[in-house]
Every structure is written in structure tokens, then in C-alpha cells.
Structure 1
Amino acid sequence: MQEDNFLVTPDLYAGKEKRFINLIVDTIGYYIFSFIVGLFLGVLELIGLSGALDFIANMGVLGSLVFGVVVVTIYFCGFEVPTQRTLGKFITKTMVVMEDGTKPTFQDILIRSLCRFIPFEAFSFLGSEGRGWHDSMSNTYVVDIEKFKAKKESQNELDQIGVPQDID
């Protein structure tokens, strides 16, 4: 399928309601993920490998902040790099794409994930388009999957008009 002339347009964007649900579900998701990381470190402590837990306990406020950023970034990258979706996006049937409809690279998702830590980033959705800074700074879009697939299929069919078909 050609991607050359496909363009993500505002009619494909996930609505603000879905984006809000994504925020809530993913917040719960990364708290659960953080809890699992803590459980894993606790198990390591129980089997006698206390170095990691001691390191975390002694890292101070800045170290704890950095550790939290790393855990949240792993949550978002761990989901969005392979699937283009997080837990919230699975529930709302949305996904992350580039402007031409292609899958974002690891770098795109990493930038997107790190931009979430910009102060007041959550308020960036209040604009008319409903795209947050983590979307615009990474040049990514969160789209409604059904609308996206329908437009891609229509575009592909239009691209096939006039193209000779092989008849077997």
C-alpha cells in the first residue's frame, strides 16, 4: 500500500473524551507497572540481591525523580513502540501514527514519552485541535483506529483506479 499521498487529517484525530480516558487508564497503568517494578525489586531483596533496592533507597529526591521518569518512559515506550498503543489506547480503540499514517520510530515514541514531563503539558490539550505538546513536539497523532483504517482503505482504492490489474 502506498503511503506517499496519505495524510492524517483532523477528522481522524481521537476526540478529547477518548484522550482523557487514555490519560486516566494510562495513569493507573503506570502506577500498576511501578508497583510491579517495586515487587520485582522486593523479590530480589528476598533472594539476597539487595544492591538495587539499597541504591534506590539512597538515591535522594533527584534520583527518585529520575527513577520515576525512567519507569514511566519504559511504560509508554514498552507499549507504544511495538503496538502503537498503550492500555488506554487499547480500551478507546485509538493508536499513535505519524502524519503520513506510518508507524512511529522508537525515537519518535521516546520523544513523545519524554515530552509528557513538561510542566503543564496536560493543559496543552485545551486547544481546538486537542493535540498535546507530546503529540506536536514528536510530530505524532493519536487517531481513531476505525476512521483511520477506513480512510486508508479508501485512499488505497482511489490509488488503484487506472492501475492495470493482473488477471490470472
Structure 2
Amino acid sequence: MNPEHYRISEHLFATKTQRFLHFVLDSLFSYILILSAGTTLVLAGETFGYPSLSEWVETMTLLEIIVYSIGIIFLYYFLTEVYFARTPAKILTKTIVVKYDGTKPTIQNIFYRTWSRFIPLEWFSYLGTATIGWHDALSRTYVVHKQALLKDRVSFQNKK
């Protein structure tokens, strides 16, 4: 490691409690989006004379519901983390997603991060002492306290 380049250290990591809150709140927000999008499709179908759209939503098979839900959840995480490097839950807990050097993740990092969330039982990766999950490790990203990161980077720059 080059001492002249800033690197994230563990003291900046979000706590396990914060990560659990992210999971719960983002799951809730995603569920609200899934229901809202479905309701919007039904209302749009009925309002604009497309009864087949309303019928499709109302008679979706389990597979269609799963694909639809995964699509909404993917867009929720991907778009919020690409544009803001944080989901609404991370905004509430004052945390942010960064790369190893404290910079904003690339679209590729976020793409891997988002798809990694769909690994079956991925949330088990937080059991034990791990503070980073598989979706962090596979995308080479970290969730850190935003203000602590900013202070740490300023301190690092002042030492150079």
C-alpha cells in the first residue's frame, strides 16, 4: 500500500446495527415501490383504456411477480447508489457507499453490488464478526459514516 494514497480504514465502517437498519428500511421502501408501481399500472390501464394491463397486474403468476419485484428492487438500489452513492436508508443513517480509496463507486461497482444482493441468503454474510457483506466484497465497495470519511480525508490531506 502506498502511504501517499488514501485508503478506507475499518473505524469508518457502518456498524452492524446500521447495516441491519439499511436492510429493513430499504426492504420497506422497495416493497412500497413495488406496490406503488403495480397500483400505477392498474390505474393507468383503467384510465387510458388498456384493460389488459390492469388484468395482467391483477392476475400475475408467481414467476411474473418475482421477476417484476426483482426488477423494481434492482432499479431501486442501482439508481439510488449510482446517482447518490446511497439509498434512502443510508441517507437516514448518514452513511455512504465508497470504493477502497474513499471515492464514489463506478457504475460497474454498483452493478456488481446490486446483482450480488440477489445471491440466495446473502444476508447470512453478516453473521459473526463481518461488517461487510458479500455485496460489499464482490463489488469492492464499503459503507462508511459520511462525516467521519470527510474528516478522515481532510486529516489525511493535511498530513501530506
Q: CA 1:43 to 1:57, structure 2 compared with 1: closer, same or farther past 3 Å?
A: closer
After alignment, is 44-53 or 89-98 more displaced? 44-53
Which amino acid in the other structure matches residue 156 of structure 1? Q
Please tell me the residue identity of whatever aligns with 2:38: G
Aligned residues: 156
Residue 130 of structure 2 aligns to a residue whose secondary structure is: coil
1:57-92 per-position Cα deviation (integer Å, ceiling 9, x unaligned)? 566333322211111001111211111111110111
- Considering only aligned residues, what root-mean-square deviation do their CA atoms show, in Å? 1.7
Conserved 8 A contact 1:25-1:88: yes
Is the alpha carbon distance of 1:101 and 1:52 closer, same or farther for their aligned partners in structure 2, counting shifts above 3 Å? farther
> For residues 112 and 50 of structure 2, what CA distance do their matches in structure 1 show?
33
Once the two structures are TM-superposed, the CA of residue 35 in structure 1 deviates from its matched residue by: 1.6
Correspondence 1:94-105 to 2 at 5 A: 94-105=95-106
Q: Give the letter aligned to residue 22 of structure 1.
A: H
CA apart distance, 1:155: 1.2
- 1:84: which partner in 2? 85
Report the AA paired with residue 152 of structure 1.
R
- Unaligned segments of structure 2, at least 5 residues: none
Aligned to 1:46: 46
Letter in 2 for 1:105: T
Q: Which one has the largest radius of gyration? A: 1
1:73 matched to 2:74: yes
C-alpha distance in structure 2 between counterparts of 1:51 and 1:9, whole Å? 54
C-alpha separation in 1, matches of 2:39 and 2:60:
18
CA contact (8 A) 2:126 2:133 kept: yes
**Is the alpha carbon distance of 1:141 and 1:20 closer, same or farther for their aligned partners in structure 2, counting shifts above 3 Å?**
same
CA contact (8 A) 2:100 2:140 kept: yes
Residues 34 and 150 of structure 1: CA distance in aligned 2, closer, same or farther (over 3 Å): same
Does 1:152 find its partner at 2:157? no
| Superimposed CA distance per residue, residues 19-56 of structure 1 (whole angstroms, 9 cap, x where no aligned partner) | 11111111111011112111210221122134544455
> Do the aligned residues in 2 keep the contact of 1:44 with 1:50 (CA within 8 Å)?
no
Gaps (5+ residues) in structure 1?
A: 160-168
* Sequence identity (%): 34
Contact 2:43/2:54, CA 8 A, preserved across alignment: no
**Residue identity matched to 2:37:** V
Residue aligned with 1:137, SS: helix
Q: Can you list the C-alpha shifts for 1:98-142, whole angstroms capped at 9, x where unaligned?
A: 111111122211211111111111110124231111110111100
**Any residues of structure 2 matched to 1:105-116 within 5 Å, and which?**
105-116=106-117
| TM-score between both structures, scaled by the size of structure 1 | 0.85
